[in-house]
Amino acid sequence: MSKWFDESLERIKKATGTRTQVQLAEILNIRQSSISDAKRRSSIPAEWFIKLYRTHGLNPEWLSDGIEPVYLKPGKGKIAADQILSETTAQYGQVQSRGRIVPVSSMAGEDAGAEVWKPQQVSELSIPETYYRSSLVVLKAEGSSMEPSVRRDAFVGIDDSQKRLMAGDIYAIHVPYQGVVIRRVFFDPENSRFILRPDDSQHPEQYIPVENHEKHVVGRVVWVMQEL
């Protein structure tokens, strides 16, 4: 029974990209002690399988017994189990960490005209585990205003816990009735505002007031995946 438990737990960890009990507890939204209890009993609660089906679309039979397909939930990408379980070799022969599937939102979000931007999933993306963080929001870039730094159709990783604006850094900013824009941010003390500057000078600058600017900031851009 312990062998079954170890193999099942390993599939759960690899499919979710978790390495520690703390990370797994966060994914399952349970206490870390619950994982220790499960290990002691060599038994995985059925609620774990249900949660992982709902949150990740994972097939409970694959998690439990390794029976493919990996995914069941509609809209989730179906990939072979051995693709999840294997590690891939990155450039220069370095071992790259296992991937994780994350939701991708449109820049418009649920309602572009709303005062507070909320993501609306339009697709999914497999990213290296090292790219993931619990505060990650992934957008698909629209337009060419930030080329060549961020090209049209690039996938943009945003840390929504980093809302403090630092001059010259790239942020995702919510502009009402337009949605999210990706811009370099600069402070304009003379006019008490922040300048949202595109990398492509053919596109106009935009501005947000210093007062209550936090409500406009979705987060700081931490990585970009795009074709060169």
Across 16-20, 111-115, 179-183, 191-195, least confident range: 111-115
Q: Tokens 């590690």 sit at which residue?
A: 87
Q: Which part of the chain is CATH 1.10.260.40?
A: 2-86
Specify the pLDDT at position 78.
40
Average pLDDT over residues 221-226: 91
Q: How many CB atoms lie within 10 A of CB 176?
A: 14
Q: Which CATH superfamily groups domain 2-86?
A: lambda repressor-like DNA-binding domains (1.10.260.40)
CATH dotted code for 99-225: 2.10.109.10
Q: Note whether 136 and 157 are within 8 A (CB).
A: yes
Q: In which band, very low, low, confident or very high, does the pLDDT at 66 lie, cut at 50, 70 and 90?
A: confident
Whole-angstrom distance, CA of residue 39 vs CA of residue 6: 8
Q: Which part of the chain is CATH 2.10.109.10?
A: 99-225
Q: How far is CA 176 from CA 22, 117, 124, 169, in A?
A: 38, 8, 25, 21
Q: Which helix (H) or strand (E) holds 12?
A: helix 2-16
pLDDT digits (tens, 9 = 90+) for 77-130: 444 555 565 532 333 233 344 567 889 999 988 876 777 888 888 888 888 877
pLDDT digits (tens, 9 = 90+) for 195-205: 999 999 999 99
Query: Whole-model pTM?
Result: 0.58
Specify the pLDDT at position 197.
95
Which residues on adjacent β-strands are paired with residue 186?
Answer: 195
